[in-house]
């Protein structure tokens, strides 16, 4: 039983998240909360929050939703990590 549960978490992390509007995204996240491990859920929601903050600062909220739609949780987390790395690199070059 434990192996099946672990496998289902891995598969869910690789499946694209598809949504029509922001409300549906947050409804899906509530469903994911019970289906992912605590750490995977925290990583996913942190990544989504970080990407939203970055795009909102650039007045690109609509492109934010488009950029994460049809992406898997793993892809969303990697996008956030890459965005953060680029941002930190840019800041260190300016200092």
Q: What are phi and psi of 17, to 5 degrees?
A: -95, 120
Taking the whole predicted model, whether its pTM rises above 0.85 is answered as: no
Q: Are 51 and 76 in contact (CB under 8 A)?
A: yes
Burial of residue 63 (CB within 10 Å: 0-12, 13-18, 19+) is: exposed
Distance CA(55)–CA(66), nearest Å, equals: 11
pLDDT tens digit sequence for 18-64: 988 889 998 999 999 999 999 999 999 999 999 988 877 666 777 88
């Amino acid at each position: 039983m434990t192996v099946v549960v672990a496998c289902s978490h891995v598969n869910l992390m690789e499946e694209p998240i598809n949504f029509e509007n922001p409300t549906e995204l947050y409804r899906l996240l509530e469903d994911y909360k019970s289906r992912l491990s605590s750490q995977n859920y925290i990583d996913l929601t942190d990544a989504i929050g970080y990407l939203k903050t970055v795009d909102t600062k650039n007045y690109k909220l609509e492109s934010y939703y488009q950029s994460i739609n049809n992406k898997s949780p793993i892809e969303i987390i990697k996008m956030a990590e890459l965005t953060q790395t680029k941002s930190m690199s840019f800041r260190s070059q300016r200092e």
